[in-house]
Structure 1
Amino acid sequence: MKIDDIAKLANVSKSAVSLALNGKPGVSPETRDKILRIAQDTGYVQRSQVHAQQVYRTNRFLRLVALTNSGIVLDEFEKQPFFTELIRHIEDQCSGNGYSLLFSSIQADQLAEEVQRLSTDAEASGLILLGTNLAREQVALVSEQIEHLVVLDTCHPAVAADFVVMNNEMGGCQAARHLLELGHRRIGYVQSKSRMHNFDARRRGFDAALEEFGLALAPEHIFTIAPTVVSSQKEFVQGWASLREGLPTALFCECDYMAISVIKSAHELGIRVPDELSVIGFDDIAEAEVITPELTTIHVEKETIAALAVERLLRLTEQEGPSPRLKTLVDTSLVVRKSTKALQ
């Protein structure tokens, strides 16, 4: 009996089998139990398996759940750089506190059913919910049934739950001010086709900074593209080509993926970044330093967000009695690289 055989019997990938047999996070409890049961029934034995089962029975766990939807948080969202980095930091924080992290995702249309199941979860001490773009009603549903809960990447002030979220409005303002301080006045805005609370807050901060200078976005200087594509996008190319005069000298993009896509689109159009067009992104993902030119962007304190979330969740699980709910806002910062330049 080999790992390939177990994967076929369990109808999962080989990597899922490896994670389960080695006691690592990344598979659901149901899948892990199924894999271990098949391995036991078929007589599969490996040295690490015994250790993994022992660890799995005795270790302490926190659970991270992401709610997938049809917008930004897709089925394979954990492959997107921002979420990849955030999840890694959460794992590191859990490990540093003597906990393992159980990670899973659920579909938005299965929320009620899955939350009911999670409310009876005896394995994990608490739950971190990656709540990107969740509605108030959705977060309320979870908070009513999960006692120890911290929600990331969205915040609803009227919901009695703990939240940790980046200061999106500040970031949008920082991006606009940077371009304005470089002398740019015809500044364009590249927005996502898929709308989310974070993007809307970034737009509010951006508009507020322009207003301080007596400026406002020109409708023709607003471009709409896909948020998870890093290649040249025809929507941007066509939109830019349709402008006859008064071209923007700088662009703010709602996330780094979009900024990278814009830089590649600009290259296709024969536009030199930053000599002819300054571009700034948001998130400061690792790829921001790989693209040419290196991307000026808004840095999100992903490690700080992870640390605050885990620290707060552990405190909730360890204390007795009710606790005041906290809404934690983590400020952003400007990272200046080579994709922006003073207007000549």
Structure 2
Amino acid sequence: MKIDDIAKLANVSKSAVSLALNGKNGVSQETREKILRIAQEHGYIPRPIVKADQYFQSNSKLLRFVACTNEGIVTEQYESLPFFMELINNIDKQIGSSGYSLMVSSINIENLQDEISRLEKEQKSAGILLLGTNLTPEQIKLVSSIQPNLVVLDTCFETLDVNFVVMNNVYGAYQAGKYLVELGHENIGYVESQTRMYNFDMRKKGFIQAITESGVKIAEKNYFSVNPTVISSQEEFKDKIKDRLNHLPTALFCEADYMAISVIKSLTELGLNVPKDISIIGFDNIFESQVITPELTTIHVKKDKIALLAVEKLIREIDNKEVEKIKLFVDTELIIRKSCKATK
């Protein structure tokens, strides 16, 4: 019995199972009880991310995953967001067969230096996998000065002498733009995050490049912004759509799946049909993209490959004293489902 099996029996995501088994927020009490009951009935024994007898072991076999939380994308409840939970699960899976242990730590971004120093003083790690989603180059440099064995995930700054492993955001959004153009869309809209970061900026670059190459431009009125971590309908977005129900874009690209799902819910509440009235495409291919109606066309991020490359690089630095720094971009894949249609 594995987490995958429990997820199928409970009809929930692997992220929800992990949250329930670890006593974390992000699932309802009813769902939590259902998952725990299934786990108990099938004799599931969870593998702790760090076993009790490993906590005080030598730092030579301990890797630390660090997420820096704030009020933007990586909130204190970041582990309940499917993308991050899937990424952590994939990292844990890769580390599991390496002889190393993984410790997951969340710290407040406002106290970055003090918190990293404290963690490393309390339990020295052999290396850090840093979730760089919302970090600046200066903050990443600070972490590397405390623990030089470092691989940063989910962002990239080419001018830093630090290891980075990230999805190819430009290529992924480029794929999305080309697909909409191939479907015949010319009146295209863009839904961007109210909170900006490297990933979103690169996705914007790739999408605009794709449609520009095809002779398509996004009209200023066709830019919309939404909260990137809200999965329910959003009133501000709905108000903008209400004002122009008779002259909407034929398609919208959303910078992330959470935003795309929120947009679909908002449009549905206004009586609009996706994709009949408007096509929607997202980015990330989270579990929820398959259960929303209609199923979401999106860009698949290979979180398993990102985790594998990051763990392998970090272990090479530790075991082989590898000093060369790398910047790895993992290409994405277009996943065609039911939220987009051709214009003709």
Normalised by the length of structure 2, the TM-score is 0.83
Specify the alignment match of 1:239 in structure 2: 240
The Cα of 1:96 is off from its aligned counterpart by 1.9
Cα distance in 2 for partners of 1:53, 1:72 equals: 31
Aligned length: 300
Provide closer, same or farther for how the CA distance between residues 331 and 162 of structure 1 changes in structure 2, counting only shifts above 3 A.
same
Cα distance in 2 for partners of 1:216, 1:144 equals: 44
Q: Are 1:334 and 2:334 counterparts? A: yes
The Cα of 1:115 is off from its aligned counterpart by 2.7
The answer to whether the 8 A contact 1:227-1:255 is kept is yes
The Cα of 1:159 is off from its aligned counterpart by 1.1
The answer to whether the 8 A contact 1:67-1:130 is kept is yes
The Cα of 1:125 is off from its aligned counterpart by 1.6
The Cα of 1:109 is off from its aligned counterpart by 1.0
The answer to whether the 8 A contact 1:166-1:301 is kept is yes
Q: Which amino acid aligns with 2:308?
A: A
Q: Which amino acid aligns with 1:302?
A: K
Cα distance in 2 for partners of 1:148, 1:218 equals: 46
Cα distance in 1 for partners of 2:284, 2:85 equals: 12
The answer to whether the 8 A contact 1:273-1:293 is kept is yes
More deviation in 243-252 or 176-185? 243-252
Provide closer, same or farther for how the CA distance between residues 92 and 206 of structure 1 changes in structure 2, counting only shifts above 3 A.
same
Q: CA RMSD in A?
A: 1.9
Cα distance in 1 for partners of 2:342, 2:271 equals: 20
Normalised by the length of structure 1, the TM-score is 0.83
Q: How big is each residue's C-alpha offset from its partner over 1:201-259, in whole Å with a ceiling of 9 and x where there is no partner?
A: 10111111111122211111111111111111111211111126532010000100111
Q: Which amino acid aligns with 2:179?
A: H
Classify the secondary structure of the residue corresponding to 2:314: helix
The answer to whether the 8 A contact 2:63-2:100 is kept is yes
Classify the secondary structure of the residue corresponding to 2:151: strand
Specify the alignment match of 2:140 in structure 1: 139
The Cα of 1:170 is off from its aligned counterpart by 0.9
Specify the alignment match of 2:189 in structure 1: 188
Cα distance in 1 for partners of 2:213, 2:122 equals: 51
Within-5 A mapping of 1:151-230: 151-230=152-231
Within-5 A mapping of 1:1-344: 15=23, 24-25=48-49, 53-58=52-57, 60-120=61-121, 122-243=123-244, 245-320=246-321, 323-344=323-344
The answer to whether the 8 A contact 2:127-2:314 is kept is yes
The answer to whether the 8 A contact 1:133-1:198 is kept is no
Cα distance in 2 for partners of 1:230, 1:55 equals: 38
The runs of 5 or more residues in structure 2 that have no matched partner are 1-21, 25-45
Classify the secondary structure of the residue corresponding to 2:101: strand
The runs of 5 or more residues in structure 1 that have no matched partner are 1-13, 17-21, 27-51
- Structure ID, larger Rg: 1
The Cα of 1:110 is off from its aligned counterpart by 0.6
Q: How big is each residue's C-alpha offset from its partner over 1:20-65, in whole Å with a ceiling of 9 and x where there is no partner?
A: xx98337xxxxxxxxxxxxxxxxxxxxxxxxx54343458321100
Classify the secondary structure of the residue corresponding to 1:334: strand
Cα distance in 1 for partners of 2:246, 2:110 equals: 47
Classify the secondary structure of the residue corresponding to 2:134: coil
The Cα of 1:15 is off from its aligned counterpart by 4.1
